[in-house]
Structure 1
Amino acid sequence: MSLLGKNSLEALRTLAFSENPGLQQSAALYYLHLSQHLISQLTEEHLEPYYALLQSSDVEVQQMSSLSLVNFLLEGNINRDLVVQMGLLEPILELLELGDSTVQCNSCACIMTLAASESNREAITSVGGVIPLLALANSYDPRVQQNAAGAILNLTQSEWIQQVLCREGALPVLTLLLESPDSEVQYYSCTALSNLAVNSHHHEAMLRTGEGFLLRTLISLLSSSVEKVSSQACVCLRNLAVSVHIQADIIAMDVLPQLLSLLASSSTDVQQASIALLWKLSQHPGNQDTLTCAEMLNTLGKLLLTHKADPVLVGHAACIIKNLILPQNMQRIMESSCSEGLLYTILSPDVQEEPLHYVIACLAELAKHEGSAFHMLQWMDESLIKCLVKLAGQLQHTEPSFQAASIIQHVICHEKVRSLLKCHIKEIQCYLMNFLTHQEIRFQQLGISTVCKLQEDPEFSLAIRQSQLMEHLERVHQQTEETQKLLRVVINHMDI
């Protein structure tokens, strides 16, 4: 007789809907055996006996039937949406409120798996599944607590359900679960809180518990030996760090040592999560002095030198350094490996377009400071100059083009740079021509100031006089004079 044949199905129905607990146990045991060996899909007809089995008054039947349903769901033998559509959600939720911890554990696991579907999340919430799950999250049984926390996590993926969870008291429950000795519970609760923290409207309620209790607990989790827990703690802190006040509070809790440790992690996820949090914290001017320490700057420089193919690490590292570029910090930045890391990054064939743009913008900001521009000269060579000239000529990428040309303009007064640029006179003339005719004033001004500096060199001066650049400059000069005359007429007329 086939495991899923017609005769087997009729026998299962008879046993399941019997009022004899012993017969129901036989049906439940058969399903449990089937859930451990089935490799095909379970049909809708084979789900029907679960109506009776899940609502049985016999604990063993409840245990075996709920476990088999978990197995089927986890192995993909049952369509999750079909379970809800057939009305099995209500009896599953009813099992949550029974006293047997094994039944509760299995039922929570069912809900957790079902809640991976958006439509199922809505159904679970609409029939009152939130309250019993929150109650079981406080269970003394670690298995129940873990599955309840996992189910709550999946529910937080829906924005409108987040409102229900907060209203029903999920925030204090999830916050306390962060201190669980079970790393899975820590991860589930921390991820759920991260999802809630995406919406800044929840922040006040999240931070209201105790005096910085949530922030302190999350910071303590940064030191977790379980990588996904420390990574998720970073994500939650980053989502919370929207206002300058919270950013300052996090820094004041001595988070820097943990972040430095995480940046040195062998886990890419941990590194990416920690540098994203650091970028958020670096946006607050009050934090920048603390963050501009030698160890942090050298760590950022090292990341740039060793992770050029990682767009998250490269992009965030460049943005952090850019945030820290202040006159009082320049000496410390120059003494670090940041400049070297940034300059060598733009030469890498592995660096992606978007993070490259952030790197160029950071270098342009550094080049504005005379001491830093001079400091960058030690890494300026033929390949780097060629790269900058090429980037300046790519006008389809407006910002990187402008920033690369700005770097050149700031270092062009040094003989070493002018000497290297002489191999690229035609390319320079080409991008300067485009700058002078650009519709944005800043491009025109940068083009003119670059030409002025180039003319200090006899070879460049001769090349410019013999090129179309001079004609463009004459036209710009005439247009400027005409504009000034018109403006004088307008101003004089207004004064009459």
Structure 2
Amino acid sequence: MAPGYCEDCSRLLEEFHFHLRKVCREFEQKIKTIFRELCQCTCFSVTPESSYRRRKRRGRRRLSLNDEELLLDDEESLQTLSRLSASQNTELQTTAAMFYLHLSHHLQSPLPDALLEPLMNLLLSSDLDVQKTIALSLVNLLVKNNVCRESVIEMGMLVPILELIQSGDSNAQSHSCACVCMLASSEPNREAVMAEGVKPLLALAKSYDPQVQQVASWALLHLTHSDWSTRLLCEAGGFPVLVLLLQGSDSEVQFYSCSALCNISAAQEHHPQLLSIGGHFLLRSLLTLVSSSVQKNSMQACRCLQTLSQNDLIQEQLMELDCVLPLQSLLKTSSAGWRESAVTLLSALTSHTPNKDVLVIEGLLQEVGQLLLHPTCSSAILTHSCRIISDLSSCSEGQQAVMEGRCLSGLLGTLLSPSLTDDALTHLTSCLRNLVTQHALKTELSGIINSEQVSRLIRLSVQTQNPQLSYNSSAVISRLEMTGEMVQLLRPHYVTMLQYLSAFLKNKDVKLQQLGMVTIFNLKTDGDFSSLLSGSEVEAQLWTVHDQTEETRRLLQMIQPLSPSPVNPSLPQHKH
């Protein structure tokens, strides 16, 4: 399959290819026989001199097919094909069109430019069946990159292709629309396609034929990959059409239109136009699609809503439309893809301060706690769950909901997962560091953490590849309540802890030095740690930091008094 297409576009193109193979297989032998006989007929004969040149040049031009090489004489075969395509006889044109269909089915090498002119003649045929056949051939050639898209545009083929869209025949519309889509996928062609093709495509998208709607919405999706063409689509009234397609009964049409709207919503300049479609119609349609039984449609609707939720007004409207319930339902599904899409959108909603109290009341933290306890919690799900917990724990009733929802147990349990990325672990330890600064959560966490989880935090603290991960992990350790049970959990790791404490004290970052000193202060309550600290490198480093601090204090006293400044306006005045 040609590179640059998403999985769904590639699948649809493969379906086109499959049907082409099925149709062409039964014609293959007959077409070759007919074409060979036509070449021998006196109607298409050439002079003896030309015949001599033909024999002399035989083998010079070859088209590589799947199972053979087709010899193409520069004069005889091309002349015959040109006469067939330019003929007013429908049967002869049909023969030429079927030759191209056979060629498009088997061709493995680029199509010579000399074969484009007969193709153009057939597109201009007065017979609709000929036009449909040649349009289907062109689709296959474009899909396989056997023909140059720029050459097709330069030869003026876009005009008859667009006229075919308005033919009223569903097959002709599908084939011509697919051609437009393939031509528009090339950036140099997009301007030409957009200038002529937007309105016919929008008209086609309103068809009652699902197959025609599929190809039209697929073509419109490709046109949303460019800012310029998206603006033209907006000016042509394309946004309401795409929103209406969300309400259709065909799942493929829903997916293509939702994907197009997702691309459009990435630019906030289009949000007013999208919101102007009355009665929250877009948001209602997307929320309906969120509950779709077709997973890819539900996930794409979540992505579109997430992109739109960057707008505060849209956030408010989503909450008014009770968006939380369908998203919570997705969190309970067995599909990781569904859960990930829902939690990603919910994390975007929790970042908006006015939503926090409502989301706590709606029981979101309970659902997130269960999500973290799921055996297949992915790095992406964990990352967004941590954001939700951090955001909601800061609001009223949030801390209690975190404890009741078993969020702490879920976070600590996920800490032991071997499949987490460093980025996910950084978010996880950052969330724990934030929670342990709150007294009630600190007590709860200190009471439920076990030896494996403590060991994991200490191993993360001592690693140096990710400084932020190391800092987060050691900060959690430093803030745990030093009860007798906690001392028993930490005691086997004192030697390892001294390693990272020494590194922190040597670091020029004051934040790390202070973290090291807080940890040492807490651990000194245990005589075993005090014994290890005495005379160690860490103790020597503590004295070094002490001396540096005293020197800093002395220097500050030398330049007293300091006057208030824009940097520190609260600095106290000293009397002389």
TM-score when normalising by structure 2:
0.80
| Structure 2 residue 533 is matched with structure 1 residue 464 | yes
Asked whether the 8 Å contact 2:366–2:406 carries over to 1, the reply is yes
Larger Rg: 2
Aligned to 2:165: 96
Q: Where in structure 2 are the equivalents of 1:91-490 lying within 5 Å?
A: 91-125=160-194, 127-292=195-360, 296-306=364-374, 310-326=378-394, 328-490=397-559
Asked whether the 8 Å contact 1:223–1:230 carries over to 2, the reply is yes
Asked whether the 8 Å contact 2:458–2:474 carries over to 1, the reply is yes
1:362 Cα offset (Å): 0.9
Asked whether the 8 Å contact 2:369–2:405 carries over to 1, the reply is yes
- Cα gap change, 1:292 to 1:111, in 2 (>3 Å): same
Asked whether the 8 Å contact 2:360–2:392 carries over to 1, the reply is yes
Asked whether the 8 Å contact 1:360–1:403 carries over to 2, the reply is yes
Amino acid at match of 1:227: Q
1:86 Cα offset (Å): 5.1
DSSP 3-state at the match of 1:396: coil
TM-align CA RMSD? 2.5
Please give the alpha-carbon distance, in whole angstroms, between the structure 1 residues aligned to 2:84 and 2:377: 61
Asked whether the 8 Å contact 1:18–1:24 carries over to 2, the reply is yes
Amino acid at match of 2:422: E
- Cα gap change, 1:52 to 1:363, in 2 (>3 Å): same
1:308 Cα offset (Å): 5.2
Asked whether the 8 Å contact 1:309–1:350 carries over to 2, the reply is no
Q: Where do 5+ consecutive residues of structure 1 fail to align?
A: none
- Cα gap change, 1:242 to 1:473, in 2 (>3 Å): same
Please give the alpha-carbon distance, in whole angstroms, between the structure 2 residues aligned to 1:81 and 1:188: 25
1:27 Cα offset (Å): 1.8
Query: Could you report, residue by residue, the CA deviation over 1:341-392 in whole angstroms, capped at 9, with x for unpaired residues?
Result: 2112221211111111111111111111222222223542332212111211
Asked whether the 8 Å contact 2:371–2:377 carries over to 1, the reply is no
1:412 Cα offset (Å): 4.5
Q: How many residues align?
A: 494
1:225 Cα offset (Å): 1.6
Query: Could you report, residue by residue, the CA deviation over 1:128-153 in whole angstroms, capped at 9, with x for unpaired residues?
Result: 22222122222333332221111010
Amino acid at match of 1:313: I
TM-score when normalising by structure 1:
0.92
Please give the alpha-carbon distance, in whole angstroms, between the structure 2 residues aligned to 1:3 and 1:96: 34
DSSP 3-state at the match of 2:416: coil
1:154 Cα offset (Å): 0.8
**Stretch moving more, 172-181 or 214-223:** 172-181
Query: Could you report, residue by residue, the CA deviation over 1:267-311 in whole angstroms, capped at 9, with x for unpaired residues?
Result: 433332222111111111222223235853343233333355622
DSSP 3-state at the match of 2:419: coil
1:122 Cα offset (Å): 4.0
Asked whether the 8 Å contact 1:412–1:418 carries over to 2, the reply is no
**Stretch moving more, 276-285 or 463-472:** 463-472
Please give the alpha-carbon distance, in whole angstroms, between the structure 1 residues aligned to 2:133 and 2:270: 40
Query: Could you report, residue by residue, the CA deviation over 1:452-493 in whole angstroms, capped at 9, with x for unpaired residues?
Result: 111122221222223122222223223323322332332337
Please give the alpha-carbon distance, in whole angstroms, between the structure 2 residues aligned to 1:88 and 1:4: 25
Asked whether the 8 Å contact 2:412–2:453 carries over to 1, the reply is yes
1:397 Cα offset (Å): 1.4
Please give the alpha-carbon distance, in whole angstroms, between the structure 2 residues aligned to 1:79 and 1:335: 63
Q: What percent identity do the matched residue pairs reach?
A: 40
DSSP 3-state at the match of 1:50: helix
Please give the alpha-carbon distance, in whole angstroms, between the structure 1 residues aligned to 2:342 and 2:146: 38
Please give the alpha-carbon distance, in whole angstroms, between the structure 2 residues aligned to 1:284 and 1:111: 42
Amino acid at match of 2:526: D
Amino acid at match of 1:434: A
Please give the alpha-carbon distance, in whole angstroms, between the structure 2 residues aligned to 1:415 and 1:12: 93
